[in-house]
Structure 1
Amino acid sequence: MKKKKLILFYNDPRENNIFLNKLSEIENVEAKCVFKPVNKLFRMVRRLHIKSGLPGLAIWFLDWKKQINDFDIVISIASPYSYEVLKWVDHNSNNTRIINYFWDSIEISKYPLVKQLNFENWSFFENECEKYELKYNPQFFVSNMLLPKSKILYDIVYVGADRNGILKHRTFLINQYYKKFKNLSLKLFFYYFSNDQSIPNDIRKSKLLTETEYYKITSESKAILDIVEPNVQWMTLRPLLAMSNQKKLITNNKMISNEVYYKPQNIFILEIDDISTLPNFVNSPFVPIDKELEFYDAVNWLKRFEEK
């Protein structure tokens, strides 16, 4: 009998959560937002309530709480509140396997890492798995989540943020590559959520794009730019989004050459590949790699939780 899985996300349920909807199309999987939508004042009250350790947290939860005993495995995408939410799951379910999955760097996000017998801590970031003794399950994508069909308007698209000023080197790199790409006469769409005044006005933005807006803009480009911190060589979701939609990838992640789906025809590694060849790379055909992506499919990602 296949095990039924609940995956908890801390997204705003008022948004069109495309990724969650597609994930829920997998057999025996439900992807849900944790919290009811509330205004700013009640978000503050909710934060205080959660951190206080007082009972009654379920008043903030959406209806997934009513079906909690229908699931064999509950996976929470790590957040500032995932420990408290999973503690509630543990107290209100029977023989449920409970997993906290770090889909972000612990050192950058500062999400709490709590180790106790009832919970399992997993991460997509192999280096931190070794450092913090976590179980490893790499980045994943949903194979049925395809970008909309759109007219190509750009050579390269980049949408990102400096995480409230934390990722200062990312900001430096975005400035650097924006100038380099413009000098190559490439058509660019850069959207950088930041208050840093060093970012050019035309790409510095004061609000995040919605998921729908992000996918639409990405669909209008030949290539996706992926920028990671030099000392944090992890795989973001962008490479898999690019490869699964037959978009070229441009990245500064030198470790990507170790991935099974790496092909130099599809992936351009900054500071290794010759920057003068970038226009030719962007305009050359994509080499299909469907077989190589199977390992990262969400179906196989979920299976790996059952194997360990």
Structure 2
Amino acid sequence: MKICLISFDHWEYDQHIIKALKDKNIEAHHINTGKFKYKYPTPFHRITNSLSKTLLKRNIKKIKQHQYILDELKKLGPQDKILVINPELIPVTIHRHIKTYTKEYIAYLYDSSKRYPIDHLLDNIFDRIFSFDSDDVAQYGFSPISNYIYMDKKPLQQPNEATYGAFMILSIDERLQALNSIANSLDSINVKYNFMLVGKHKPAGLNPNIKHQRDIIKLDKLDQYMNDARVFVDIVRVNQTGLSFRVFDSLCYQKKLITTNKTIKDYDFYNPNNILIVDADNPVIEASFFETPYEPLSENIYYKYTIDNWVNTVFFDKGDTI
């Protein structure tokens, strides 16, 4: 069987899907548009593209990126299944061309349609559409699926083995105020934390205990930070109901979680001893949450959220032979 994944894998999460498929002896390939780099032949071409984007709504860089997908597919040849993650980033005409290369065309949305509208992709383009957002599942009838645990389960630690109370890494976006509020709340109960903000420029008004850096944190360093924390922090975007990868990191590392995602209480892994739901604007956090140990999940519940089960659900739940 041949399976191809198409995605913009900026944080390198999607590569784990390919590994899980290969572990099942599937011939799997990843067309990662995040690795495509377009270089303007001359400064004149850069200026021309800027004008084209403004006046004609035509972006040469995006056009070349989409052509890159088709060129790579042409090299790979026909596929049994193709999965596109965040398909709203690709024009309908390109999707229809991609579909000619496969027997089954699948989409996975891990952004809310309120943030990235997908109405233009509902006209019989995909054979199946999966979504992590419960509101989109209810509105459009998509197949529900969450994100996944992509690492082996980490050994259970005791609270006194952690270097600091809480860990959070965040890009600079609309969640910044919530991050500040949670930091202020932790300051008030004297809980040490490691909050890291990643982006080009340090925002004004940032809590002085929140660190800022320009470069993305490497995965090995991220692993160290998460090992050293007692509790992870998860702040959802506006209009998001699906679970972020930070939730699955907490399950994998067997760490407690502070989250602003109120829908998390509807999942079978929810345990108020392990998960504290707070208001983004006025988070109430008690020091006692950091003092009790994490209560491990049953193996059956844990497996439901692993990448192995995710791959089986997306690609093989229709009775296909692996």
C-alpha deviation, 1:293, in angstroms: 2.1
Which residue identity does 1:135 align to in structure 2?
Answer: F
Per the alignment, residue 107 of structure 1 pairs with 114
Shift of 1:6: 2.6
Residues 1:177 and 2:182 aligned together = yes
Cα shift readout 1:16-44 (whole Å, capped 9, x = no counterpart): 976456444541373624335425548x8
Assess if the C-alpha contact under 8 Å between 2:112 and 2:133 holds in 1.
Answer: yes
2:80 aligned partner: 72
Partner of 2:130: 122
Unmatched segments (≥5 aa) in structure 1: none
- The equivalent of 1:264 in structure 2 is 272
2:143 equivalent to 1:136: yes
Is the aligned partner of 1:285 residue 2:293? yes
Pair 1:68–1:187, CA change in 2 (3 A): farther
The 1-side partners of 2:290 and 2:77 are apart by 47
The alpha-carbon deviation at position 177 of structure 1 amounts to: 0.8
Look up the match of 2:8: 10
Find the aligned partners of 1:218 and 1:248 in 2 and give their Cα distance.
Answer: 11
The aligned counterpart of 1:190 is 195
234-243 or 147-156: which moved more? Answer: 147-156
Q: 2:312 aligns with which of 297, 300, 303?
A: 303
Deviation at 1:159, TM superposition (A): 0.7
3-state SS of 2:206 partner:
coil
1:153 match: 163
Aligned to 2:55: none
C-alpha distance 31-198 of structure 1, shift in aligned 2 (>3 A): farther
Same amino acid, percent of matched pairs: 17
Aligned position for 2:105: 98
Query: What TM-score, normalized to structure 2?
Result: 0.74
Q: Paired residue for 2:37?
A: 38
Q: CA separation in 1, counterparts of 2:192 and 2:91?
A: 41
Check 1:123–1:23 CA distance in 2 against 1; reply closer, same or farther (3 A cut): same
Contact 1:6 1:31 in 2 (8 A): yes
- Preserved contact between residue 76 and residue 86 of structure 1 (Cα < 8 Å): no
Q: Rg bigger for which structure?
A: 2
User: Does 2:59 match 1:48?
Assistant: yes
**202, 211, 232: which is aligned to 1:224?**
232
Paired positions, count: 291
RMSD (Å), alpha carbons: 3.8
Alignment partners' CA distance in 2, 1:82 and 1:212: 35
| SS of equivalent to 1:223 | strand
Alpha-carbon separation, structure 2, partners of 1:123 and 1:217: 30
Q: Which moved more, 1:290-299 or 1:148-157?
A: 148-157
Deviation at 1:228, TM superposition (A): 1.6
Aligned 8 A contact 2:95 2:125 in 1: no
Q: Which runs of 5+ in 2 are unaligned?
A: 50-57
Q: How far, CA to CA, are the matches of 1:149 and 1:66 in structure 2?
A: 45
Q: 1:206 aligns with which of 197, 206, 214?
A: 214
What secondary structure, in the 3-state scheme, does the structure 1 residue paired with 2:145 have? coil
Amino acid at match of 1:209: I
Structure 1 residue 4: Cα displacement: 4.6
Give the number of the structure with larger relative contact order, counting CA–CA contacts within 8 Å between residues 6 or more apart: 2
CA distance in 2: counterparts of 1:186 and 1:203, whole angstroms: 16
Give TM-score, length-normalised by structure 1: 0.77
